[in-house]
Amino acid sequence: HHDWFTALLTSGLCAGLVISYLPQHFRIIATKSSEGFSPWFLLLGSTSAASGMLNMVVMQWSIMRCCRFVGIGSCLEMTAGVFQVFLQWFMFTIILVLYMLYYPQHRRYAEVDVDAHDTRPPQHIKTSIKSDEWRLSITLAWVVFIHIILIIFITFALLITTPLPPSTLGAPLPPHIELWATFLGVASAGLAAVQYAPQIVHTYQMKLVGALSIPMMCIQSPGAVLMVLSIALRPGTNWTSWITFAVAGIMQGTLLVMCIVWKFRPHKLQIDDFGQPL
């Protein structure tokens, strides 16, 4: 049985995901700066996407095992939902990687003011001590790395060591695996619910767009509705699989409105998106 509507919707969303994230990737690379991002936003987003991805793997594990008995085309169609959430995680994690690579050099190390003891103003001397924000960014990047390794290990340890029922659509998972899937889904939704909060606060305090991409958010905010629909229509999923994207879409829409407001403000003040004079 081929569900062409769901297959086409998923294919379109996968292409849309890549297209929507590219403006953000290109903006960071083009400006050679990731200033404007909250490291907490990137931590929460990466861990939320990773948890959502592994939730989908667990929920559709029985369906994925059917790939041994069907052709490549049917296998790709059945596992398209897993690939879809993997793509979501991968494209977001690239933002975190670019954030670390293009973190502004002038903000990586602390400065001290040295008094000249005369009429000259104090001199700003760069030190070899990492700034608080750069040190925090490094720590959170390690947390993201350890988190994905840990949940991958636990997920596949459970799936491989637990005797599962035959690969029958709708067959219930063992209770402890069902519990792990629910934990991943709820954790993903919880992280997504607060993911945009630090970024919204950070952007509000800066009153600048920075390296954030408005075109990306313009594509993704309405796209969240299609994402939820696509996942909800997939067999073997429940509300824990799609609630993440519903919450994230609402929060991202809020950030988008704020960025549009700040986008017009700098032009009136004759400054660019990073606060530098035009």
pLDDT at residue 70, rounded to an integer = 74
Element containing residue 156 per DSSP (H, E): helix 132-161
Encoded tokens for 18: 């890549």
Residue 73 CA: distances (Å) to CA of 6, 67, 77, 245:
15, 10, 6, 27
73 vs 208, residue with greater confidence? 208
95 vs 128, residue with greater confidence? 95
State the average pLDDT over residues 39-44: 96
User: How would residue 252 be classed by pLDDT, with cut points 50, 70 and 90?
Assistant: confident
User: How would residue 119 be classed by pLDDT, with cut points 50, 70 and 90?
Assistant: low
Instruction: Quote the pTM value.
Output: 0.83
Upper half-sphere CA count for residue 85 (Cβ side, 13 Å)? 31
pLDDT at residue 1, rounded to an integer = 54
269 vs 150, residue with greater confidence? 150
Q: Percent of the chain scored above 70 by pLDDT? A: 90
Assign residue 226 a region (left: φ > 0; alpha: ψ between -120 and 50; beta: otherwise): alpha
Amino acid present at 190: G
What's the mean pLDDT when you consider all of the chain? Answer: 84
Angle between helices 239-269 and 175-206 (to 10 degrees): 10
pLDDT at residue 12, rounded to an integer = 82
Q: Is the pLDDT of residue 170 over 60?
A: no
